[in-house]
Amino acid sequence: MKILISADSTCDLGPVLTRRYDVRIMPLYVNKGGKMFRDGVDIQPNDLYAHVANGGDLCSTAAANVADYLDFFTELRKEADAVIHLCISAHFSSTYQNACIAAQEVDGVYVVDSRNLSTGHGHLVLMAADAVKAGGEPEAIAAQLRKDTDKVRASFVLEQLAYMRKGGRCSTVAALGANLLNLKPSIRVTDGAMAVAKKYRGNMEKCIRQYVNDELADLEAIRPDRVFITHSGVTDMILQAAQQEVEKRHYFKEILITHAGCTVCSHCGPGTLGVLYVMK
């Protein structure tokens, strides 16, 4: 039985990992300057940043619609006996709802709400691919993935709040206060939604090192197979700081570094970095 794994572009796995695990991607949409682009296909994060830096409005994102999913699933089913598709959290987008509606019209499609975003979503995608390789049945794999959503830990530290402020997710006063106090908030996904977890003070390198130490404090409770370091565009120094803090523990079999896609980047802007893992 051939089973294909597919996911929304919000899984932020990047082309190397999607090719390695044969994951098929459904791009979400990005509205830049009144024109719609496909995330990761027609537009990349640096295009968003350049647009805003040149005085353009903040780019917005939109879900793939039912017709998009219907075409997508129909084509995948021509190649496989079953498809397992993982969506960004239903709290953040209507993609899950749209994918479920489309799946009702195509036999053999199992849709899973990752209840997460970025490589929190991506962790579940790779877990699905591992389960397929191990010979699992699609319905059982989908059921296990739904249970495993509670085990994924996703969080990020934001260097600046300008994009959050422009997008209406943070007040001007709060953003100004954070800048004056040199605060870097960490955002955590909990029960499928985002909330501020902690605020770090100091330069970004210091904050990132402390953040990684906090996240990996209970190391033995974390699955050792893989960990993601995902960012929206940071300096080599910041990325190396995060990588050093993870590597020095000699715990994870695989450290995967990815760049967030347009959907995440359009909301957080450059300078954001997270360490994402799965609990045992």
Domain positions in the chain are 3-28+63-147, 154-278
Domain 3-28+63-147 architecture: 3-Layer(aba) Sandwich (3.40)
pLDDT at 173: 35
Q: What is the DSSP string of 185-198?
A: EEEEEETTEEEEEE
Dihedral sign of CA atoms 201, 206, 207, 210 in order = negative
Q: Which residue has the tokens 């995060």?
A: 242
Cβ–Cβ < 8 Å for 236, 273: no
Q: What is the DSSP string of 142-184?
A: HHHHHHHGGGEE-EEE-S--HHHHHTTSS-HHHHHHHHHTTEE
Instruction: Enter the DSSP assignment of 58.
Output: P
Dihedral sign of CA atoms 9, 157, 61, 99 in order = positive
CA 175 and chain centroid, separation: 24
Integer Cα distance of 232 and 179 in angstroms: 19
CATH code, residues 154-278: 3.30.1180.10
pLDDT at 175: 40
Mean pLDDT by groups of 10 residues along the chain of 280 residues: 97 97 97 94 94 88 96 98 97 96 98 97 98 97 98 92 54 41 80 83 94 97 98 97 98 98 88 97
